């Protein structure tokens, strides 16, 4: 119980907010379970015109989302958008709404970035808009994008000094950026999974580029399940996004009993976790994002839906899918295979270890991070050998 007492005390001393504290700005999103706005604080509206906070007004699921954000805040703060506060706002509506407040992380989600033809070169460029073609200022762009993607614990200097002499070009450079994005997404996801949280709605729209840390973070814990304490254990009416969902309908076997009360569940759930490997649901979604980053033609909703249909027809066997499409592939589609085939096909190997029918056969986030695809020294050694 210490954890809960600590959390309570910490929350007591944190800045709290009320309804009247906020000045609503631009609407950022609207789903079935809430509306999201960019907001500023009423007491210093001039501090930043557009507002440096984000407010979600959520329906009944907001209570779970507050719980998840409080947990993430303590257990793996850098994985997700910086959560400030959540409360029940009951003055305006009969049943009340849950209000959740985050720091405004930045204007671009991975979905926004992938919509641009310049992806992945647009990642981390100021406002993600003005684009410098890589062949014009390769050195400058390299610095810019390595800055943007420098990893936690790595200083900008080591990133730049380490990279500048050995400038990769073209598809290899593109692969390098995609590799870094994948590493950051998997790192954040591993943090969530290690905390016992399965996200269940991993998609480019729920991955945001944080301009502060210049890394990608996960957002939207509205569908998440905390299996260690049995919160939101079985999704009831919740509809998973079919575009990124793994084929299994339930992340936990329907045979397992419904969530026991908190203390019991804490003791039980590691066993249930091992039995069901619910985290592999998220891994499938990350695999599809990897696929979309590698294949420009699969980035639109329609083409992803079509891909899902094709893959299902191939019994979820990516190698079989490849055999059907590669012979008549467009140059854009072929480009994806070229990228994934670099360094002895190590990218393709990682992809096929994530997008698999059986959850048990998919890599965990931690195992994926240890995959040779992310091992630069290994890659160098490979290219010397060839």
> Does residue 66 interact with ligand ADP by CB under 6 A?
no
Question: In the set 7, 21, 23, 28, which binds ligand ADP (CB under 6 A)?
Answer: 28
CA distances from 248 to 26, 41, 240, 278 (A): 37, 43, 11, 10
Distance CA 43, CA 253 (A): 50
The least distance separating Mg ion from the CB of residue 33, rounded to whole angstroms, comes to 10
Question: In the set 29, 96, 235, 344, which binds ligand ADP (CB under 6 A)?
Answer: 29
> Does residue 104 interact with ligand ADP by CB under 6 A?
yes
Interface mask (CB under 5 A) for Mg ion, residues 186-215, using x and -?
--------------------x---------
Determine the interface stretch with ligand ADP among 30-38, 116-124, 325-333, 350-358 (rule: CB under 6 A).
Answer: 30-38
Give strand ranges (E) for 135-276: 197-198, 207-210, 215-218, 225-226
> Does residue 36 interact with ligand ADP by CB under 6 A?
yes
The least distance separating Mg ion from the CB of residue 220, rounded to whole angstroms, comes to 4
Distance CA 263, CA 226 (A): 13
Task: Give the pair of three-digit tokens for residue 18.
Answer: 């009320």
> Does residue 220 interact with Mg ion by CB under 5 A?
yes
> Choosing from 190, 201, 220, 282, which is the catalytic residue?
201
Is residue 22 within 8 Å of residue 55, measured between CB atoms? yes
> Does residue 188 interact with ligand ADP by CB under 6 A?
no
Does 241 qualify as catalytic in the annotation? no
The least distance separating ligand ADP from the CB of residue 60, rounded to whole angstroms, comes to 13
Is residue 55 within 8 Å of residue 66, measured between CB atoms? no
CA proximity to 86, closest of 109, 108, 53: 53
Q: Would you say 106 or 278 has its CB closer to ligand ADP?
A: 106
Bridge-based pairing of strands 207-210 and 197-198 is: unpaired
Determine the interface stretch with ligand ADP among 42-50, 100-108, 289-297, 320-328 (rule: CB under 6 A).
Answer: 100-108
334 - beta bridge partners?
none
């Amino acid at each position: 119980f210490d954890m809960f007492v600590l959390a309570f005390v910490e929350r007591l001393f944190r800045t709290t907010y009320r309804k009247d504290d906020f000045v609503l700005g631009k609407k950022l999103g609207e789903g079935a379970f809430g509306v999201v706005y960019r907001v500023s604080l009423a007491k210093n509206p001039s501090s930043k015109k557009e507002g440096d906070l984000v407010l979600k007004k959520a329906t009944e699921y907001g209570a779970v989302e507050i719980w998840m954000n409080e947990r993430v805040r303590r257990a793996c703060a850098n994985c997700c958008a910086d959560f400030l506060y959540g409360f029940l706002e009951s003055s305006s509506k009969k049943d009340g709404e849950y209000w959740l407040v985050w720091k405004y992380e930045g204007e671009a989600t991975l979905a926004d970035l992938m919509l641009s033809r310049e992806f992945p070169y647009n990642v981390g460029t100021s406002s993600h808009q003005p684009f410098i073609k890589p062949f014009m200022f390769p050195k400058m762009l390299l610095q810019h994008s390595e800055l943007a993607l420098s990893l936690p614990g790595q200083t900008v200097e080591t990133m730049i000094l380490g990279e500048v002499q050995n400038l990769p070009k073209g598809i290899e450079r593109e692969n390098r950026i995609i590799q870094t994005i994948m590493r950051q997404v998997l790192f954040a996801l591993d943090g969530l999974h290690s905390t016992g949280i399965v996200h269940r709605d991993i998609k480019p729209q729920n991955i945001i580029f944080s301009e502060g840390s210049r890394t990608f973070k996960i957002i939207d814990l509205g569908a998440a399940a905390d299996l260690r304490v049995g919160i939101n254990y079985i999704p009831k009416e919740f509809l998973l996004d079919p575009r990124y969902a793994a084929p299994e309908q339930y992340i936990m076997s329907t045979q397992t009993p419904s969530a026991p009360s908190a203390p019991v569940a804490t003791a039980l759930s590691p066993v249930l976790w091992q039995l069901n490997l619910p985290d592999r649901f998220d891994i499938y979604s990350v695999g599809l994002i990897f696929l979309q980053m590698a294949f420009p033609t699969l980035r639109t909703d329609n083409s992803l839906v079509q891909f899902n249909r094709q893959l299902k027809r191939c019994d979820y066997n990516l190698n079989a899918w490849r055999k059907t499409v590669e012979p008549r592939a467009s140059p854009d589609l072929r480009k994806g295979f070229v990228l994934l085939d670099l360094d002895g096909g190590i990218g393709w190997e990682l992809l096929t270890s994530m997008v698999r029918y059986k959850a048990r056969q998919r890599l965990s986030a931690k195992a994926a991070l240890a995959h040779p695809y992310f091992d630069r020294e290994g890659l160098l050694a490979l290219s010397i050998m060839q």
